[in-house]
Amino acid sequence: MMQLVFNIILSFSPILLVAMSFALLYYPTKFFHIAHAAIITSSAYFVLFFLNKFSGNFSGWIGYTLSWTKRQFDELNTGRIYYPRFDRRNDISVVLIYSFTNNLSVSATWTYATGQHISIASGQFGFSDIGLNNSTTLNYDYGLRNDFKLPDYHKLDLNITYKFIWGNLPFQAYLSVFNVYNRKNPFAVYTTTTQSSSSALGKPELKQITLFPFLPAAGISVGF
């Protein structure tokens, strides 16, 4: 394994902090699965930029990461290099907090990430299994591994927090809205077969799972 990390941190204390980090990571390794060994060659590179303002009524931070992650297995994807699902070219987080008083603050968080790589069928074919069960079924032709990129992920969250004392205990009431503009960020895309009046084998259907649409929440917490 070879790893090289280079950091620059500039602090304009107590107001501003700028951090930059560069990293190169490369590791050829060996692991065992089922009953045979396989060689994985992996590499990851990233540049991280982080800007943080932490004093005054208005505070927050911006983080940006540019990264590449690659995998190569001799026994997968015909030995070709592919991007694993967690490869994210761009990753941005923006957090803004404004304190009206010592008790009342609002915050907004916007996150963005390049869409993930997944494997998805590029075609369909009828095929009778060879062996004991020779019935013909609809099969899907998956091309190269993780050759399809999901749409980009992004969402905005808002939060209002009010702090107060009640019975000598510190309370915090909050109202938050997750995914304000109801972005349908895909968690997974998969292929199913539905019945078809025109084909005995059925018709392919691509489905997308979306997690966490527009989601308001309110709560109260107490510390003791």
* Interacting residues with other proteins (CB under 8 A): 76-77, 85, 118-133, 137-143, 145, 148, 184, 187-193, 196, 198-199, 201-224
**87 and 69 in contact (C-beta within 8 Å)?**
yes
Q: How far is the CB of 110 from other proteins (least distance, A)?
A: 20
| Pick 131 or 167: Cβ nearer other proteins | 131
Q: How far is the CB of 198 from other proteins (least distance, A)?
A: 5
Q: How far is the CB of 192 from other proteins (least distance, A)?
A: 5
| Pick 62 or 138: Cβ nearer other proteins | 138
Q: How far is the CB of 130 from other proteins (least distance, A)?
A: 5
State residue 77 phi and psi, 5-degree precision. 55, 35
CA-nearest of 43, 18, 13 to 28 is 43
Q: How far is the CB of 97 from other proteins (least distance, A)?
A: 19
The Cα–Cα gap between 181 and 108 comes to: 13
| Pick 37 or 85: Cβ nearer other proteins | 85
Provide the token pair at 112.
Answer: 């963005």
The Cα–Cα gap between 63 and 109 comes to: 11
| Pick 55 or 196: Cβ nearer other proteins | 196
The Cα–Cα gap between 15 and 196 comes to: 64
Q: How far is the CB of 77 from other proteins (least distance, A)?
A: 7
The Cα–Cα gap between 107 and 41 comes to: 42
| Pick 28 or 216: Cβ nearer other proteins | 216
**31 and 40 in contact (C-beta within 8 Å)?**
yes
State residue 79 phi and psi, 5-degree precision. 80, 0
Query: How many CB atoms within 10 Å of residue 188?
Result: 12
DSSP states of 34-87 as a string?
A: TTEEEEEEEEEEEEEEEEEE-SSSEEEEEEEEEEEEEEEETTSGGG--B--TT-
| Pick 53 or 203: Cβ nearer other proteins | 203
